[in-house]
Amino acid sequence: MLFNKMADKRLTNSFKSYVGFDDESFNTSNEESFSELNTRCLAGEMAIAEAQHVLMFSPVSEHKQGKSGSLIVTNFKLSFVTTEEYTKHEMFCQENQLLGEHDVCLSNVDALYLMGDKKRRLLPGKNMSEKVKGLIVVCKNMKVMTFSFKFSPVGHGRNLTNALLHHAFPKRHQLLFAYDFREPYYSCPTEVCMFQDPGEWGRELARTGAVGWRLSGVNREFKMSSSL
């Protein structure tokens, strides 16, 4: 009877194996990250493609350590979201930070490479029809992000790669998200001195106690001097 209870207990224990990934085990920093996650979007920003159960390798780890989460492509950025990052942002509101710790603006993407036996560069505007096992994102600021779709559902890696190839390399600069983004106007509770009228300059001279200075309306219209 004791043997049966122990056997039942052993059967109910959960076991997660990463054997087969480069023939060695893979250590993730968050065991609960294999869940559906969402990125925080700005006004007018929308998600285009998403890959779940993605592994992001840590730099200089030889593809043995990293984080697990969801990789999302929007019309503004490439965002990698983990459960740890998601709960942290639940407690604090997003103020003026446009990009998170693992976010990359699409205009900052310089090149994309396929992971495999040989690293192969992907050409913008070309659609991938084969299975994508891993993706290397090289940024213009020399940041490199490496992702694996080994545990992702079928087709997630290919769909996300095609979306990234299409939206990260627009043929016209008018297609960039910056042209559509309109940041809401925030009113300031205190009056801000813009130094656009003589009264503001007069109060500033009085406040600083400047000696030997006087106000002049010669350049009131901010025009170029005729003597230059």
Count CB-CB contacts under 10 A for residue 191.
6
pLDDT at 182: 67
Is residue 76 within 8 A of residue 164, CB to CB? The reply is: no
pLDDT at 79: 92
Q: Which domains does the chain have, with CATH numbers?
A: 47-179 (2.30.29.30)
Structure pTM? 0.61
Is residue 104 within 8 A of residue 167, CB to CB? The reply is: no
What parts of the chain have a pLDDT lower than 50?
Answer: 1-21, 23-24, 29-35, 86, 89, 91-96
pLDDT at 176: 83
Spatial neighbors of 141 by CB under 8 A, at least 6 apart, are 108
